[in-house]
Structure 1
Amino acid sequence: MRDICPHCGSRIASWTEDLSETCGACCALCGLSQNLDRPEIDREAVLIWLPEFTQGAVNALVRRVHSSFARHGKAVSWPLDPLPANSPEDLLAASSAYAALVERSGIAKQRLGTSSPRDLAEALSFILPSSYARRHELLGGARLLSLGRFFVDGRDIYPRLLVKERLASILRS
Structure 2
Amino acid sequence: MQSLYRTTIDEELRLIWLPEMSQAALNVLVRQIHIDLQELGESVYCDDTPKKPNGMRSALYTAQRILRERGETIAERLGSSRASDLADALTVLADRHLGLQNLPWGGLRAFPTGRFYAGGVNVYDEIVSSWRGKNEAPIKEVA
Query: What range is the shorter-chain TM-score in?
Result: 0.7 to 0.9
SS in 2 for 1:74: coil
2:124 maps to which of 158, 161, 168 = 158
Alignment equivalent of 1:111, drawn from 77, 93, 97:
77
* Among 72, 75, 92, the residue aligned to 1:126: 92
Give the TM-score taking structure 1 as reference length: 0.71
Residue segments in structure 1 that go unaligned for 5+ positions in a row: 1-30
CA RMSD after TM alignment: 1.8
Aligned position for 1:72: 40
Name the structure 2 match of 1:22.
none
* Percent identity between the two aligned chains: 33
The number of aligned residues is 133
Confirm or deny: 8 A CA contact 1:83 1:92 kept in the other structure: no
Within 1, Cα distance between the matches of 2:23 and 2:14? 13
The match for 1:39 is 7
Distance 1:131 1:163, change over 3 A: closer
Matches within 5 A, 1:5-16: none
SS of equivalent to 2:21: coil
Who is 1:141 aligned against? Answer: 107
Query: 1:77 deviation in Å?
Result: 0.9
* 1:133 Cα deviation after fit: 3.5
By relative contact order (CA 8 Å, sep 6+), the higher-ranking structure is 2
- Could you list the runs of 5+ residues in structure 2 that have no partner in the other structure? 136-143
Aligned AA for 1:48? I
